[in-house]
Amino acid sequence: MKITRVETFAVPPRWLMCRIETDDGLVGWGEPVVEGRADTVRTAVHELADQFLIGADPLRIEDHWQLMTKGSFYRGGPVLSSAVAGLDQALWDIAGKAYGAPVHQLLGGPVRERARAYCWVGGDEPSEIRDQVAAQVEAGFTAVKMNGSGRMARLPNVADLNEVASRAEAAREALGPSGDFAVDFHGRFSAAGAIKAVQVLEPYAPMFVEEPVLPEYTHLIGRVVDATTLPIATGERLFSRTEALPALQAGIAILQPDLSHAGGISESRRIASLAETYDVAIAPHCPLGPLALAASLQLAFCTPNFLIQEQSIGIHYNTGAELLDYVADPEVFRFHDGHLLRPTAAGLGVEIDEKAVRRADGTAESWHNPVWRHADGSFAEW
């Protein structure tokens, strides 16, 4: 079997899909994207495919991964790692279809029958948080995630800290003692600011606090870990084992590799194994589309230290299209008491509605994250 063609599709709301075709007629799908840089990644996907994949045997996944990540002198970073990630997912999809098994079966078989998932609540005010959490509990979810704050000074003052606490209080009230909420700081605080903010969250016992510092300050994350009783999470902007290692060594509790950024299923599986040696659970980042979620689930079902899965259905970023718009069998992504069931179809376990993808290609307005400024006009972290 040989790879004959690699195509990419830029689709709303902000996603990129790739499709690998073989001379056997088998087709694999993946999702290589950096949010806000879809066109750049698209170029990288075609460069890598032309250089390493066209004409090659798709079943030599590890060898392809080695060449795609190391076969050029300049390597790594979000764009290249995400391009590799989507191609890697598509190669695993083909392998599963060739062997007639879901990918998690090829990776050692299932270790669980359902995967817990959380959804986002995006309200800016505590009253909205309370209502949105209550709605998700009503829908069966047992866990939600929210931003810890809006735009914030690097060092929060008392009013800022009260705002952080009041959102957490509202979420805890709506969830009761048995539900979970996670708080994402998005690197908006400095390390010193994050220590103040994480401490005011302690009475509300969030499941974890995410990105208390920016990924470039991973050398400081241990200070936050040591200053709080709460579990600290990071990882959506770390793209390999070697980038995850310092965060693990600093004592984080939860690692959040993104299957569409961190080298795909191949590397994310190794990141999960590395995390296991630090007694760290993984909670894969996934504000993306159906293939990123399907790839994440394949990892969830064969990974002992999996904790919970992020997913984007209803997320505030999804304008113009939703995850289920591109799926021929939405049943795969139906939630049962806040959990997704183990997919049994071959490959990634999701059937893409190819007509819908081709129709949507090129119709996405280019998405960029907001650029924020502080009151004095200087740049503010989003």
Q: Which residues are the active-site residues?
A: 186, 285
| Nearer of residues 27 and 272 to Mg ion, judged by Cβ | 272
Whole-angstrom Cα distance, residue 219 to residue 187? Answer: 13
CB 23 within 8 A of CB 9: no
Closest separation between CB of residue 131 and Mg ion, Å? 22
* Residue 320 contacts residue 12 (beta carbons within 8 Å): yes
- Residue among 153, 151, 154, 180 at smallest CA distance from 168: 180
Min dist CB 372 to Mg ion, Å, is 16
In the complex, which residue's CB is closest to Mg ion?
Answer: 184
Measured distance CA(308)–CA(43) in Å, rounded = 32
Q: Taking CB under 5 A as the criterion, which residues in 183-242 touch Mg ion?
A: 184
How far apart are CB 310 and Mg ion at their closest, in Å? 8
Q: Is 310 in the site for Mg ion (CB under 5 A)?
A: no
Element (H, E) at 181: strand 180-184
Closest to Mg ion by CB, 31 or 184: 184
Cβ–Cβ contacts within 10 Å for residue 376, how many?
A: 6
Q: Give whichever of 160 and 184 is closer to Mg ion, judged by the CB atom.
A: 184
| Helix (H) or strand (E) run with residue 245 in it | helix 241-249
Please state, in angstroms and rounded to a whole number, the distance separating the CA atoms of residues 247 and 234.
8
Enumerate residues 152-191 that contact Mg ion by CB under 5 A.
184
Binding residue count for Mg ion, defined by CB under 5 A: 1
Helical packing angle, 241-249 and 264-276, nearest 10° = 20
For residue 330, give the amino acid letter: P
Q: 184 or 325: whose CB is closer to Mg ion?
A: 184
Min CB(46)–Mg ion separation in Å: 29
CB atoms within 10 A of CB 262: 31
**What's the min distance (Å) between Cβ of 173 and Mg ion?**
23
CB closer to Mg ion, 184 vs 267? 184
Shortest separation between residue 220's beta carbon and Mg ion, angstroms: 17
Residue nearer to Mg ion on the CB measure, 103 or 224 = 224
Question: How far is it, in rounded angstroms, from Cα 32 to Cα 2?
Answer: 21
Q: 3-state DSSP: the chain helix, strand, coil percent, rounded to 5?
A: 40, 15, 40
Interacting residues toward Mg ion by CB under 5 A = 184
